[in-house]
Structure 1
Amino acid sequence: MLQFAKKNFSLVVSVLVVMLSMTGMSSSALAQMNIEITGVGQSLYPIAVMRFKDENKLPTSVTDIIRQDLARSGYFKNTENGNASESDEGTPNYKSWAARGADALVVGSIVQSSAGQFEIRYKLFDVRKSQSLGGLNLNSSTDNLRAVGHKIADDIILKLLGERGIFSTRLSYVIKEGKRYRLVISDADGQNIRNAMSSGEPIISPSWSPDGKKVAYVSFEDRKPVIYVHELATGRRIALSNQKGNNSAPAWSPDGKKLAISLSKDGNTQIYSINADGTGLQRLTRGYTIDTEPQYSADGRFIYFTSDRGGNPQIYRMSSEGEQAEGTKRTTYKQGFVTSPRISPDGKYLAYIANIGGAFRLHILNLATGDAQALTDGTSDESPSFAANGRYVLYSTKVGGKRVLAAVSVDGNSKQILSIPGSDVRQPSWGPFMD
């Protein structure tokens, strides 16, 4: 199937994931993710996250969520994993904590304010500098405790490392369940899964709007690919593009006003732009080969896309106004077969999938230097998507013959596998920061 003729290139690039997903096994959309962390390196920041006082009042452990988030970050080592609590009042004994090997200390407490409502208090201390770094007092209902844990973990990352944490962001991905497909939304750790859409036909290519309120995707529910824009809070959606032929590969502009899409309505698949309400369709490429998988640059000035105009698929760049404005520039040269461009939020890196001797493997390219490297040793990687902070790439791959999600740091050192037992999970998209 992966040995394809040129005329079939658009189907492979845009719809390959659909054909592969037919092999998926059934699962429950409510099943929770298993997370396996490997290769996090040796130089980890030792932090003591103490059990929050009176946490037994809660149905969900906020302490455990914080510990798990920090472990998944690839930056921290938990030095306290038991049930011991530490007071969040007064000043801790810094010398004692330093002797126990902690460079930072997290303490907290739970106060029930009313039935089903709680105040979660947390404080962070820099043990090495013997100083308080402040904390948060957060009010939460019982069904929002995971979000509170993620918010505290994000605050710890910001205060200790000086960068914004991504634990409060969300993922979208597709679960194959028997003969049905579910587009789901989850927390960044794959937990707290909620259904956005269910269909008896494939759903592919989810793409988050920059404000995190909408997801564009391709649905085959009408027995042909149609692009929809789905408002998550209300469930309302519009058919963004239902042109003749293939409607595929939606990608939002950074300002959320437009999407770049791939259409075959005039013959071979080409790239178009369209307003987010479905108006203003404009053709951007006019070649005789296949142009697909558009992605806006971080500043919105350019569109990167996959094209076989040079013989084999490679990544090219053009003005977001179309190739007639400035022409096109080839971006990838290191491998002979390259697809699935994704640009990091800071615009520094291009992630893509390269065919290396029949193995489809995730790579990353430094756009300033031209240096490229493989981030995995996989053989069937698909659908890369950057985290909002640009530090990680989420993708789909195979483990033990089953489709799972995986995340890898941009330096390749920290890796995670996110799987639902007995299920087929693919088509991931990492959502933006939510303000």
Structure 2
Amino acid sequence: MKKPLQDFPPTPSSSFFARRALVAALAATPVIPALAQFRVEVSGVGVTQLPIAIAPFKGEESSPQKISAIVLADLERSGQFRGVDASGQALDESSRPDLSLWRQRTADSLAVGSVTRLADGRFDVRFRLWDVVRGQDLGGQSYTVPQGDLRLASHRIADYIYEKLTGEKGIFSTRIAYVTKGGTRYTLWVADADGENAQAALASPEPIISPRWSSNGSQLAYVSFESRKPVVYVHNVASGQRRLVANFRGSNSAPAWAPDGSTLAVTLSRDGGSQLYTISSSGGEPRRLTQSNSIDTEPVFSADGGTIYFVSDRGGAPQIYKMGAGGGNPTRVTFSGTYNISPSISGDGRWLAYISRVGGAFKLHVMELATGNVQAITDTTADERPSFAPNSKLIVYATKLQGREALMTTTLDGKIKARLAGQAGDIREPDWGPFQKQ
């Protein structure tokens, strides 16, 4: 007789289990101060990293935010850049730097700038990027922002530099969502991609799980237990207004957005057993996709919207499968390991990230879909909920370090990791949002 999925040993992927197991797992986690300050700790060395110098911005010693430090931390976290010592130089965007000096410091590129407080309290932030090797001015930008947007301006500078030097779009001005538990209070946060500047979107004495960004970044779908059972809501991030989408008999869980934003895939037990359905993001009557005696859950759409990846124990243990977005016969995707959950598909369609149980440890794995090649990319043992950056170059996930919950990012090869959480932390369920409109 097949062992029911709920009886498997606990895993960090809380959205995969019944309410009782989920609440017990969350209740056992340590307390985090509601406004804990985050910091970025980058570790590892990539094979090829571009050496870049970010000179201290003129005037930033009196600025509430150190622009140059934020920009450098962003670039280093990407795994594509290595910081070069830029101390002892007084430069701004109007300066013509001595590029031979920076070549001696082994920098391939140099960013300089200034930050000035205006009479109305806003800040004028300017920068310029130089190609040190070719001696070229690569342009720059300026932003006039309130104090609260100084970090956003810094992230946009990092985006500009990243795109100019790699040819690919930067993700530093995007946002992440995640959940914390502090005491008996659960909070859904929206934060910058480096974990800073967190704003509470929802707080509740009952668990909140499975936040998922819509493709335009304006809405979050999530599961709340406010009515003492799992119910799916859609939340407008800007206004704070939300609407109930799925509150059927039994469990309503694991929402996933279709790329066009009109539809959610969800896991419902309304007809007995956990099965996959699609439902309008405005609510209404769901359409059943799977017809099995197994537990089918954790759906995620491919970037083109044509395929749904999901987790099922139809083969006797949880594995990742795929099928057409309208249903049909599923095809098994994961064959390495006996327990694979929490699929995430990269925006370019090349990669599948997921959690695999290996000898009792839960570890982040990445599969190249074209070849089926799989690589474990962490040495931690309690990884959960991977989510790709919108440029498909980084993954955010939750794990435990030194016994504490931590929010991490990693490059796809696992060589560059950054810890986004501070020393205290009960942080879980991360989801990386889409590119932001400028």
Give the TM-score taking structure 1 as reference length.
Answer: 0.95
Residue matched to 1:333: 335
Question: In structure 2, the residue corresponding to 1:114 is in which secondary structure?
Answer: coil
C-alpha distance in 1, partners of 2:380/2:362?
A: 7
C-alpha distance in 2, partners of 1:89/1:13?
A: 55
Following TM superposition, by how much is the alpha carbon of 1:57 offset from its aligned partner in structure 2, in angstroms? 4.2
The equivalent position to 2:16 in structure 1, one of 9, 13, 16, is 13
Residue matched to 1:365: 367
Residue matched to 1:353: 355
Following TM superposition, by how much is the alpha carbon of 1:280 offset from its aligned partner in structure 2, in angstroms? 4.3
Residue matched to 2:102: 97
C-alpha distance in 2, partners of 1:255/1:145?
A: 32
Residues 1:387 and 2:392 aligned together: no
8 Å CA contact 1:30–1:194 kept in 2: the answer is: no
8 Å CA contact 2:36–2:424 kept in 1: the answer is: no
Residues 1:48 and 2:53 aligned together: yes
Following TM superposition, by how much is the alpha carbon of 1:36 offset from its aligned partner in structure 2, in angstroms? 2.2
Residue matched to 1:126: 131
Q: How far does the alpha carbon of each residue in 1:62-102 deviate from its partner, in whole angstroms, 9 at most, with x for none?
A: 12211221222222222235363214225322222212221
Question: In structure 1, the residue corresponding to 2:69 is in which secondary structure?
Answer: helix
Alignment of 1:145-164 (within 5 A): 145-164=150-169
Counterpart residue type for residue 13 of structure 1: F
C-alpha distance in 2, partners of 1:352/1:47?
A: 33
8 Å CA contact 1:14–1:293 kept in 2: the answer is: no
Question: In structure 1, the residue corresponding to 2:322 is in which secondary structure?
Answer: strand
Residues 1:245 and 2:250 aligned together: yes
8 Å CA contact 2:85–2:105 kept in 1: the answer is: no
Counterparts in 2 of 1:179 and 1:108: CA distance versus 1, 3 Å: same
C-alpha distance in 1, partners of 2:170/2:411?
A: 14
C-alpha distance in 2, partners of 1:6/1:155?
A: 47
The equivalent position to 2:262 in structure 1, one of 245, 257, 262, is 257
8 Å CA contact 2:78–2:411 kept in 1: the answer is: no
Residue matched to 2:41: 36
C-alpha distance in 2, partners of 1:360/1:17?
A: 17
C-alpha distance in 2, partners of 1:298/1:17?
A: 29
Counterparts in 2 of 1:86 and 1:6: CA distance versus 1, 3 Å: closer
Q: How far does the alpha carbon of each residue in 1:126-184 deviate from its partner, in whole angstroms, 9 at most, with x for none?
A: 00111010000111111110000000001000001111111101111111100111111
Q: How far does the alpha carbon of each residue in 1:8-67 deviate from its partner, in whole angstroms, 9 at most, with x for none?
A: 579872456543221222222211113322113364221111111122342222122112
Q: How far does the alpha carbon of each residue in 1:319-367 deviate from its partner, in whole angstroms, 9 at most, with x for none?
A: 10112xxx11111111111111111111111111111121111111111
Question: In structure 2, the residue corresponding to 1:157 is in which secondary structure?
Answer: helix
Residue matched to 1:376: 378
Question: In structure 1, the residue corresponding to 2:420 is in which secondary structure?
Answer: strand
C-alpha distance in 2, partners of 1:22/1:83?
A: 50
Q: Sequence identity, in percent?
A: 46
Counterparts in 2 of 1:12 and 1:226: CA distance versus 1, 3 Å: closer
Residue matched to 1:420: 422
Alignment of 1:55-94 (within 5 A): 55-82=60-87, 84-94=89-99
C-alpha distance in 2, partners of 1:46/1:134?
A: 18
8 Å CA contact 2:125–2:142 kept in 1: the answer is: yes
C-alpha distance in 2, partners of 1:253/1:14?
A: 23
Unaligned stretches of 5+ in structure 2? none
C-alpha distance in 2, partners of 1:343/1:35?
A: 25
Runs of 4+ in 1 over 3 A off after TM superposition: 4-12, 14-19, 81-84
Following TM superposition, by how much is the alpha carbon of 1:222 offset from its aligned partner in structure 2, in angstroms? 1.1
Give the TM-score taking structure 2 as reference length.
Answer: 0.94
8 Å CA contact 1:85–1:107 kept in 2: the answer is: no
RMSD between superposed Cα atoms in Å: 1.8
Counterpart residue type for residue 101 of structure 1: T
Residues 1:117 and 2:122 aligned together: yes
> Which deviates the most, 20-29 or 278-287?
20-29
8 Å CA contact 1:14–1:248 kept in 2: the answer is: no
Residues 1:275 and 2:280 aligned together: yes
Residue matched to 2:313: 308
Residues 1:139 and 2:141 aligned together: no
Aligned residue-pair number: 429
C-alpha distance in 2, partners of 1:349/1:198?
A: 33
C-alpha distance in 2, partners of 1:425/1:84?
A: 39
Counterparts in 2 of 1:12 and 1:385: CA distance versus 1, 3 Å: closer
Q: How far does the alpha carbon of each residue in 1:281-306 deviate from its partner, in whole angstroms, 9 at most, with x for none?
A: 11111111111111101110010111
8 Å CA contact 2:129–2:137 kept in 1: the answer is: yes
Q: How far does the alpha carbon of each residue in 1:191-238 deviate from its partner, in whole angstroms, 9 at most, with x for none?
A: 111111111011100000101111111011111101110101111001
C-alpha distance in 2, partners of 1:394/1:111?
A: 34
Residue matched to 2:406: 404
8 Å CA contact 2:40–2:73 kept in 1: the answer is: no
Alignment of 1:288-307 (within 5 A): 288-307=293-312
8 Å CA contact 1:18–1:204 kept in 2: the answer is: no
Following TM superposition, by how much is the alpha carbon of 1:279 offset from its aligned partner in structure 2, in angstroms? 2.3
C-alpha distance in 2, partners of 1:26/1:386?
A: 27
8 Å CA contact 1:208–1:215 kept in 2: the answer is: yes
Following TM superposition, by how much is the alpha carbon of 1:255 offset from its aligned partner in structure 2, in angstroms? 1.0
